[in-house]
Amino acid sequence: MARWLIILAGGRGERFWPLSRMMHPKQFLTLMGDRSMIRSTRDRVRPLIDPAHTWVVTGQDYVRKVQANLPDIPTGHILGEPVGRNTAPSIAWAAAHIQQIDPDGTLLVLPSDHMIQQEEQFRKLVVKAMNAAEQYGGFYTFGIVPTHPETGYGYIEHDGMAFGDSLVLTVHQFIEKPPLEDAETMVASGSYFWNSGMFVFKVGELMAAVERHLPELHRGLVALVAEPDHVNEIFPELPQVSIDHGIMERVENVYVLPAAIGWDDVGTFAALARHLPRNDEQNAAKGHAIFVDSQNVTAISEGPVVSFVGVKDLFVVATKDAVLILSPERSQDVRKVVQALKEAQHDHLL
């Protein structure tokens, strides 16, 4: 009966182009500090879970990158998906492997590309959730106290204390990405958290829930674990469903731990910009930048020196072969550039 970590690293996000590329998505970027997002994710819980007990589910194209980022994880623990089928198949695939080794194990599931500033506090909550899962059973999530009516996240409504512990609350319901008006009401009410996509449960309970609520997925996984060489035939046939929708919303004993841990999914350049230190003129730089009479400029360079003269309110990313110059409030629209490059068949830049 051990504790296991499953890292979800299948993202192919385009919102960080030109830092991120088809072959170098966000989880492998060093957006903050000196380590890649996936490496930070693993290191953050290393005091709790051994590398030998870590599994990663990623795209087939990224298996080698995961190995390079996490060299102390057993090679066989890096599962490469031929196509993305959302989070339920990813988690259940790794869980099916773990169940064979340790049927009584406890799982911590983490996305590979989020930021957590209060790591010590986060680890305390993880231990609390794993202890509770082992003592009481059930499905545990970490709920982020919302700071604004974000419409890009799912929400979790709680229903008061579970187990007489004010840090473990019963989940009343999950709400998918809401319209702005609903988001505003939820944030104002104080009974809702953001769904951070991090989970804790016992492997046996998860697989039983998969068998009950997603029987087609369960059958596929049994076949996949029996014949791993047939992944390219079996995996694409698995149902495409999220763990939230497929499992968490359907099981009975779901709990949320309020998590004041400095969490951010750093989903856009605008989010990244919020976390960079700024000078007196509100300029921020990662990499070599020169600011002359400029204000509220964020520069991220992977090499070129980036110089500004007399400009303001810009977000700039420079790499050797691509430069992006963005209005800070337009960071969702980086995809439009990626789309234009696709249409012009400039695949080497993607």
Query: Which spans of this chain sit near its own copies (rule: CB under 8 A)?
Result: 18, 290, 292-293, 301, 303-311, 314, 316, 318-327, 329-330, 333-334, 336-337, 340-341, 346, 349
* Cα–Cα distance measured from residue 23 to residue 6, given in angstroms and rounded to the nearest whole number: 22
Q: Give least dist CB 336 to its own copies, A.
A: 5
Sort 77 into a burial class: Cβ within 10 Å, 0-12 / 13-18 / 19+: buried
Instruction: For strands 139-144 and 192-202, give the pairing.
Output: antiparallel
CB closer to its own copies out of 64 and 342: 342
CB closer to its own copies out of 15 and 44: 15
* Cα–Cα distance measured from residue 322 to residue 331, given in angstroms and rounded to the nearest whole number: 16
Q: Give least dist CB 302 to its own copies, A.
A: 11
Contact 10, 90 (CB under 8 A): yes
CB closer to its own copies out of 24 and 123: 24
Write out the H or E segment, with its range, that includes residue 199: strand 192-202
Contact 272, 266 (CB under 8 A): yes
Q: Give least dist CB 16 to its own copies, A.
A: 13
Q: Give least dist CB 306 to its own copies, A.
A: 5
Tokens of 26: 């966000």
Largest Cα span, the chain = 64
Q: Give least dist CB 267 to its own copies, A.
A: 16
Residue with tokens 């509220």: 296
CB closer to its own copies out of 256 and 285: 285
> Which residues pair with residue 111 across a beta bridge?
8
Residue with tokens 């998505």: 25
> Which residues pair with residue 299 across a beta bridge?
285, 316
CB closer to its own copies out of 183 and 289: 289
Q: Give least dist CB 323 to its own copies, A.
A: 5
CB closer to its own copies out of 38 and 297: 297
Instruction: For strands 263-264 and 254-259, give the pairing.
Output: unpaired
CB closer to its own copies out of 64 and 336: 336
For residue 73, CA distances in Å to 51, 55, 98, 335 come to 5, 8, 14, 33
Q: Give least dist CB 266 to its own copies, A.
A: 19
Q: Give least dist CB 22 to its own copies, A.
A: 15
Helix or strand or coil: residue 222?
helix
For residue 291, CA distances in Å to 13, 284, 300, 314 come to 30, 9, 13, 12
Q: Give least dist CB 148 to its own copies, A.
A: 21
CB closer to its own copies out of 56 and 316: 316
Tokens of 281: 């003129």
CB closer to its own copies out of 226 and 292: 292
